[in-house]
Amino acid sequence: MSAAIREYVQPGCTVFFGGMQHGEPSAAIHEIVRQRIERLTVVSALTHTVALLLGEGLLQKLVVAYLFDLYERENCLAGRARRLGAYPELEEMSHYGLSLALFAGQMGVPFMTTRSQLGSSYLQHNPNLKEIACPFTGQKLAAVRALNPDVGILHTQRSDPSGAAHRWGSLGMDLMGINACKTIIITTEKIVAPEIIRRDPNRTVVPSFRVAAVVEVPWGAYPLHLAGCYNSDLPAFAAMCRVESTYQAHVDRFIYGVADRTAMMQRLAEDHGQPYLDRLKIQQPIESTGVINGY
């Protein structure tokens, strides 16, 4: 993980994080914090651990539809960013608008059109939303400018060594988001043989030729849940973000105080007991299996 982040996530770049309250690449976000990579523009939708980048003053801009950590009466992170002189510029649109921007990026076209943004004040505040006329009907439409982030990071249940990755459960904007990115990092619970990926191709969210790096990292989405692997510990994360002294103690112990995700999970087990993690882990996961005779 440290090598992948060091090579592909540079200060000042634009990063898309997958996960929309499910399976976000938390271990990768921890590593970005650990390496203190600054001036980032982040594109995300309901990716909770982006809060750590906000709290550590590493963000220059947020392209978002919603991020709960910006509500300063509910947690300490936005206020902390202000005190660090690193409160990010905000570019806001609806979740649907953001998905269209990423879909346009995936398709390689300059924009997508919609009517939904016209009923809001987004066009008054976001320069990447424009009112246009349909060339066929003259109908009033909103044009949503394409987004092509420099780097995309997606956490998956499994991947083969080349980066062909399976992901299931709620996908949110993961498909269009990761495929709109110029460089892709896949983090995964388990690296598996290529034939396991080939036997269930409809779950392959990104083709291997697009992937720059693959990192095997069990518990890589914690504290978020990952379908078929473990349940969420999000209430504990949200509670930690409310008070700055608690937040500071957490990042010192579980991010700066460890080398990687394995060491972090060991420390969690030391602090809370292994049964704490065992209760989160899905004990009898049901995964896809190949069809009869491989057909």
pLDDT surpassing 60 at residue 292: no
Q: Which domains occur in the chain, in start order?
A: 2-93+149-280 (3.40.1080.10), 111-145 (no CATH)
Nearest 10 degrees: Cα torsion 240, 241, 243, 248: 80
Q: Distance (Å, rounded) from C-alpha 127 to C-alpha 277?
A: 45
pLDDT digits (tens, 9 = 90+) for 220-258: 999 999 999 999 999 999 999 999 999 999 999 999 999
pLDDT at 204: 94
pLDDT at 73: 74
Percent pLDDT > 70 in the chain is 95
pLDDT at 283: 84
Q: Is 23 within 8 Å of 167 (Cβ atoms)?
A: yes
Q: Which two tokens stand for residue 123?
A: 């066009």
Question: 206: closest CA among 247, 162, 236, 250?
Answer: 162
Cβ neighbours of residue 252 closer than 8 Å, sequence gap 6 or more: none
The mean-pLDDT minimum among 74-78, 105-109, 286-290 falls in 286-290
Buried b (16+ CB within 10 A) or exposed e, 212-237: bbbbbbebbbbbbbbbbbbebbeeeb
pLDDT surpassing 50 at residue 295: no
pLDDT band at 288 (very low <50, low <70, confident <90, very high): low
112-117 average pLDDT score: 92
pLDDT digits (tens, 9 = 90+) for 8-65: 999 999 999 999 989 999 999 999 999 999 999 999 988 999 999 999 999 999 998 8
Q: Which residue has the tokens 């969420």?
A: 232
Average pLDDT for the chain: 93
pLDDT surpassing 60 at residue 293: no
pLDDT at 114: 94
CA triple 226-107-67, angle to 5 deg? 45
pLDDT surpassing 80 at residue 74: no
pLDDT at 44: 92
